[in-house]
Amino acid sequence: MPDAENPHAGQGMVVLDIGGDVGALVVSMPAELVGMEIEICPSGARGGVPDEGADWWDGDWHSDHHHDHSEADHQHEHQAAWPHVAVIARPSPTGTQNSAVYPGLKEGTYDLWVRPDGPTTLTASVKGAEVTTADWV
């Protein structure tokens, strides 16, 4: 039986549906984090109960959750969690760009960290109708 998951999903261009109070965040990442998952939450909310992005993520982050694995090697359950995306090495005209892309965030300030419990490494402010870019420290 063929594997139903596309091993190349999420590795190319990303379509962003932004406008109004919804923007996007693209974080340039170091090569050593390719394949790792980066969680995000509103700044200061990390100590609380994960809310699945209820009022600040536009769309279903589970469907935006592109990383290549099968159910057998899935390292986490999709229960109450902070939204997270994988760091992907994406081709670009200037070469490979390692990035984490958050396609639909309501305007606000967000904290990011390596899943499951790395320290908060980046805080970024997202504006509606704009693509915010940031570099992982």
Structure tokens at 13: 């261009």
Report the residue count for the chain.
Answer: 137
- Residue 12 DSSP one-character state: S
State pLDDT tens for residues 73-103.
455 555 689 999 999 999 888 999 999 999 9
State pLDDT tens for residues 12-47.
678 898 999 999 999 999 999 999 999 999 999 999
Q: What percent of the chain has pLDDT over 90?
A: 69
Residue 107: helix, strand or coil by DSSP? coil
Q: Which residues contact 18 (CB under 8 A, 6 or more apart)?
A: 24, 104, 128, 129, 130, 131
Residue 131: is its pLDDT beyond 60?
A: yes
- Domain segments of the chain: what residues? 22-66+78-135
Backbone angles phi, psi at 110, to 5 degrees: -130, 145
Residue 83: helix, strand or coil by DSSP? coil
Mean model confidence pLDDT for the chain: 86
What is the pTM for the complete model shown? Answer: 0.82
CATH architecture of 22-66+78-135: Sandwich (2.60)
Print burial letters for 28-54: b (CB count within 10 Å at least 16), e (below 16). Answer: ebeeebeebbbbbbbeeebeeeebebe
